[in-house]
Structures are given as C-alpha cells and as structure tokens.
Amino acid sequence: MSRHRGHMSAHFVAEYVTMFGKNSVVALPLQILIIGPFVMFL
C-alpha cells in the first residue's frame, strides 16, 4: 500500500513538473487548485 502510494506520488510530481514546464503561465493558477486539495488529502 505504502509502496503504491509512493509510486503514485512520484508519478503525480513527474506529471505536474512536465505540465509546469510546458505551460508555466497556465500552471501558475492551476497549482493552487491542484496542490491545495492534494495537500489537504494527505
């Protein structure tokens, strides 16, 4: 379970970094919508 969660977290970070790199201007407001609920979920 922990291993699966860790894999998903790494995948999420990789996807987020890729999105942020390609669409930094768009990702700036989106990171609040994405990171906010994600942190609350943790």
For each of the chain's 42 residues, which pLDDT tens digit applies? 556 666 778 888 788 777 766 666 666 777 778 777 777 776
pTM of this prediction exceeds 0.85: no
Question: What's the rounded Cα separation, in Å, for the pair 2 and 26?
Answer: 32
Q: What is the pLDDT of residue 37?
A: 77
CA distances from 10 to 5, 7, 25, 39 (A): 9, 5, 23, 14
Amino acid, single-letter form, for residue 10 = A
Question: What's the rounded Cα separation, in Å, for the pair 20 and 27?
Answer: 5
Amino acid, single-letter form, for residue 38 = F
